Structure 1
């Protein structure tokens, strides 16, 4: 049995992922702001360092897998914090834990992205560049400036919608670029993204302002299956990506969104290579 670290383990998709791993006999090191084996704020540099130290201590320096699930949604009032938590948090954590994953015979890492990265038409290319170049201070400042320019109605309902979608977009691009580098691929450490759609979690309900589960047919984006996802639907694929047998998939993004991305962008994939 393996040793796995799961961030965001106190609720939602993180809690469901931790539960599935434990049910399959694995040791899970949970990380969250509360009710976890390691309490740490991944929105700060010191919190990330603390999380990495705690995981390495708890695992003895060898990890079989990491599920970077922790994140915040578009309802968060501070777009700068969204950039820090959703992008710099998982990136720093995975970079810090990569050597421990490489010591395993089958190191695996999976990141929770979002289908908002492809279905929300508010990707901020400047913010993408700042995130991918690692300039956290500039990224936070830019995200806040862009947030201040949002239309008033959108600013009230989803004040960080652009920063949220953009941070998840940049995170998926970081994974795609990083997964094929020698320090990951040739060390046998596989790195992939799961892009959930509308999954009923406290984060999703808070982001939509709904006190209870909304009607799928009245949802702002298409819901081809007519139902919302559950945390367990995401946890299933987290487990699959972390299995030793998942040995020939890296740099991939799997949409687990009930068909929303396919409905909105039916011809987006595959994209032909051009010269």
Structure 2
């Protein structure tokens, strides 16, 4: 059995993932703002450094798996904070823990993205560029400025929708670029993305402004299965990606969204390679 790290472990998909991993016999180091083994704010550079050091101390310097689940939704009022938490938080944590993962015989990492990266038509290319360039100050400044341009009818319900979708888009692209580089791939550290859709978590319910399960047929995006996801649906795939047997998949994005992305973009994948 291994040592696994789960960020966002206090609730939602993070709590479900931690529970599944513990039930499988693993030691889980939970990271969150509260009610966790390590309390840290991944929205700040200081919090990220503290989280990495705390994990290294608790694990003895070797980690078998990391599930970067922590994140915030489009209902957050500060788009700059969305960029910091959703992109720079998991990237810094994974970069800081890569050597510890490489010390494992089967280091695995999985990041929670979102199908919003492909189904929300508000990707901010400039913000994505700043995120991927690692310029947090400029990204935060741009996110706040761009937030003012969001239409009022959209901004009332989801003030940070563009920053949210863009941060998840950039995160998935970072994973795809990073997973195949020698420090990860040739060290046997596999890195993948899970892109959930509408999953009934406190974050999702808060973002939709309802306190109870909404009607899937009245949801803004298609719900082909006619049901919402549960945190356990995501936790199942977190566990699968972190298994030692998952040895030949890296740089992939798995949509766990009840078919929403496929319904909205049926011909988007596969994309033909052209010379």
Could you say which residue in structure 2 is the equivalent of 1:152? 152
Could you say which residue in structure 1 is the equivalent of 2:11? 11
| CA–CA distance in structure 2, aligned partners of residues 135 and 44 of structure 1 | 13
| CA–CA distance in structure 2, aligned partners of residues 65 and 111 of structure 1 | 11
| CA–CA distance in structure 2, aligned partners of residues 239 and 151 of structure 1 | 39
Q: Does the residue aligned with 1:217 lie in a helix, a strand or coil?
A: helix
Q: Does the residue aligned with 1:28 lie in a helix, a strand or coil?
A: strand
Q: Does the residue aligned with 1:255 lie in a helix, a strand or coil?
A: strand
| CA–CA distance in structure 2, aligned partners of residues 205 and 214 of structure 1 | 9
Q: Shift of residue 86 of structure 1?
A: 0.1
In the TM superposition, what whole-angstrom CA distance separates every residue of 1:160-184 from its partner, at most 9, and x where no partner exists? 0000000000000000000000000
* Worse overlay, 24-33 or 143-152: 143-152
C-alpha RMSD over aligned residues: 0.3
| CA–CA distance in structure 1, aligned partners of residues 147 and 153 of structure 2 | 12
Count of aligned residue pairs for this structure pair: 275
- Specify every segment of 5 or more residues in structure 2 that has no aligned partner in the other structure, as ranges: none
| CA–CA distance in structure 2, aligned partners of residues 97 and 73 of structure 1 | 25
| CA–CA distance in structure 1, aligned partners of residues 147 and 155 of structure 2 | 7
| CA–CA distance in structure 1, aligned partners of residues 256 and 267 of structure 2 | 18
In the TM superposition, what whole-angstrom CA distance separates every residue of 1:182-235 from its partner, at most 9, and x where no partner exists? 000000000000000000000000000011100000000000000000000000
| CA–CA distance in structure 2, aligned partners of residues 158 and 128 of structure 1 | 19
| CA–CA distance in structure 2, aligned partners of residues 250 and 85 of structure 1 | 23
Q: Shift of residue 35 of structure 1?
A: 0.1
Q: Shift of residue 150 of structure 1?
A: 1.1
| CA–CA distance in structure 1, aligned partners of residues 242 and 174 of structure 2 | 19
Q: Does the residue aligned with 1:50 lie in a helix, a strand or coil?
A: helix
| CA–CA distance in structure 2, aligned partners of residues 63 and 157 of structure 1 | 39
Q: Shift of residue 153 of structure 1?
A: 1.6
Q: Shift of residue 152 of structure 1?
A: 1.3
Q: Shift of residue 266 of structure 1?
A: 0.2
Q: Shift of residue 84 of structure 1?
A: 0.1
* Worse overlay, 70-79 or 153-162: 153-162
| CA–CA distance in structure 1, aligned partners of residues 221 and 114 of structure 2 | 13
In the TM superposition, what whole-angstrom CA distance separates every residue of 1:58-103 from its partner, at most 9, and x where no partner exists? 0000000000000000000000000000000000000000000000
| CA–CA distance in structure 2, aligned partners of residues 245 and 210 of structure 1 | 40
Could you say which residue in structure 1 is the equivalent of 2:143? 143
Q: Does the residue aligned with 1:159 lie in a helix, a strand or coil?
A: coil
Could you say which residue in structure 1 is the equivalent of 2:74? 74
Q: Shift of residue 269 of structure 1?
A: 0.4
In the TM superposition, what whole-angstrom CA distance separates every residue of 1:27-61 from its partner, at most 9, and x where no partner exists? 00000000000000000000000000000000000
| CA–CA distance in structure 1, aligned partners of residues 25 and 172 of structure 2 | 30
Runs in 1 of length 4+ with deviation above 6 angstroms? none
| CA–CA distance in structure 1, aligned partners of residues 254 and 154 of structure 2 | 29
| CA–CA distance in structure 2, aligned partners of residues 128 and 149 of structure 1 | 17
TM norm structure 1: 1.00
| CA–CA distance in structure 2, aligned partners of residues 200 and 62 of structure 1 | 33
Q: Does the residue aligned with 1:247 lie in a helix, a strand or coil?
A: coil
Could you say which residue in structure 1 is the equivalent of 2:95? 95
